[in-house]
Structure 1
Amino acid sequence: MPWWDDLGERYLRSLGKTPEPNIRYHFKRLTMEGSAHYMKETYGLEQSIEEICTGVMSGIEFAYRDCIQCKPGVIDMLEAMRAAGVAMCVATATRRDCALAALERLDILRYFSALFTCTEVGASKTEPDIFELALSHLSTPRETTFVFEDSLHAIETAHAAAFPVMLIDEPASASDAEACQALADVRLKNFTAFSTL
């Protein structure tokens, strides 16, 4: 999601720090708390982990509350899946309050039976914990429980844990597109393409 692309960089610059060129790599692969620990140690920040998390998230909360919209085709896809009796839940790296703000505002929370966050699970999507928890909640067979993802590290994790992966192309992940496609079981250029499956 492009809103997340430079979140860590913006926060560090607001503190007068110069972000290293590879900070996006670290930020994408860690939980919010993990990112805060990384920034505190790497950049010698005096703020507590909680203060760093709050500072970073202040740069994106407004987007979840007021700006982020459903991509074209999402509602139709969710309706089709619900009509077919597909059990669905959300497994996100986003903080619960932010995810709920967007899901409720967009009136799509009703499609999902649960919301799981990496922070609450205690592991980023470089570990399968959140996917395993979602699977346990859904009580569906692993081999038919698709993980919808757009980031390489999460796709690698889901694939390694033997989940089928549905890749949704995302401009923010364009640099990893080839690697993502190699691991995905199904690839959609966008959500409107779901109707062609």
Structure 2
Amino acid sequence: MKQKYGIFDMDGTLVDSMGYWRQLSVEYLHNKGVTEISPDILRMLRPMTLAQSTTLFADVFHLPDTPEEILSEMNNMMAVHYGRDVLLKDGIVEYLDALQRRGVALCVASATGRPLMELCLGRLGILDRFAFLLSCEEVGYGKERPDIYNIALSRLGGTPAETVVYEDAPYAIRTAKDAGYRVAAIYDEGVSETRWAEMAALADYRLEHWSQALTMIP
């Protein structure tokens, strides 16, 4: 079926930002004097929104700051990177332009908060390619549930079969696929190496570079 709608993850999909996110929790906790972080805690953090992680930090590490204060500080740390350091994935501008020429309606659905998305995508010059941005923080659930995709699609006005969801995380790929969406697995260097086979098996399309999508997705 011809693609009519596209729901894009941002971090690791549109932009090369996952290295900064991978270090954010450790950087923040180190700044607070927490030097020992168990692998179990790091695994628990992966599917969480930033807001969810702040509650975990406050509870597990008994930090004096409130979750709201922790969230504000971590957002400020990431805002520096989004406003200065983060770059677009190679080939993504050409692909977005090709989709728009075909009349495909686009949006972003990300675990990242809306102000940070606007800062990042605005600085990089692609914010106007998308009809809207939607954050898991607004929805109230991470991508372990399909709520964010379903709400995004209700605003776009299509059906899952007409829609491609673009994701770089195995759990998000699985969530979208189980909810009936067509899914493109996006390779993110430094993140996907150890799980690419799993991602490729789950997804409908496997994109190691954005230039492949121009001919691979109908």
TM-score (norm 1): 0.95
Q: In 1, distance between residues paired with 2:51 and 2:123?
A: 26
Distance 1:140-1:98 versus aligned 2 partners, 3 A rule:
same
Q: Whole-Å Cα distance in 1 between the matches of residues 27 and 124 of structure 2?
A: 27
Higher share of residues assigned strand: 2
Find 1:125's aligned residue among 101, 118, 143: 143
Q: Partners of 1:105 and 1:55 in 2: how far apart?
A: 21
3-state SS in 2 of match to 1:88: strand
In the other structure, the counterpart of 1:182 is: 201
| Ranges in structure 2 where 5+ consecutive residues have no aligned partner | 1-17
Q: Percent identity?
A: 34
1:25 and 2:43 matched: yes
* Deviation by residue 1:91-148 (Cα, 9 ceiling, x = unmatched): 0111111110111111211111011001011111111111001110111121121100
For 2:40 and 2:95, the matched residues in 1 are separated by 35
Aligned to 1:4: 21
What letter is aligned with 2:123?
R
Q: RMSD of aligned C-alpha atoms?
A: 1.3
The secondary structure found in structure 1 opposite 2:195 is helix
Give the 5 Å matches for 1:32-71. Answer: 32-71=50-89
Partners in 2 of 1:144 and 1:80 — Cα distance? 17
Q: Tell me, in whole angstroms, the C-alpha distance in 2 between the residues paired with 1:175 and 1:39.
A: 27
Shift of 1:71: 1.3
Q: When the two structures are aligned, how many residues end up with a matched partner?
A: 197
CA distance in structure 1 between the partners assigned to 2:192 and 2:208 by the alignment: 12
Among candidates 160, 164, 167, match of residue 149 of structure 1: 167
1:169-197 CA-partner distances (Å, limit 9, x unpaired): 01223332222111110000011222232
Partner residue in 2 for 1:195 = 214
Closer, same or farther: CA 26–173 of 1 in aligned 2, 3 Å = farther
Contact 1:33/1:53, CA 8 A, preserved across alignment: yes
Could you tell me which amino acid in structure 2 is paired with residue 155 of structure 1? I
Kindly indicate whether residue 106 of structure 2 is the aligned counterpart of residue 78 of structure 1.
no
Larger fraction in helix? 1
CA distance in structure 1 between the partners assigned to 2:57 and 2:130 by the alignment: 34
Which runs of no fewer than 5 residues in structure 1 stay unpaired? Answer: none
Q: Structure 2: which amino acid aligns with 1:180? A: M
Rounded to whole Å, the distance in 1 between the matches of 2:98 and 2:145 is: 30
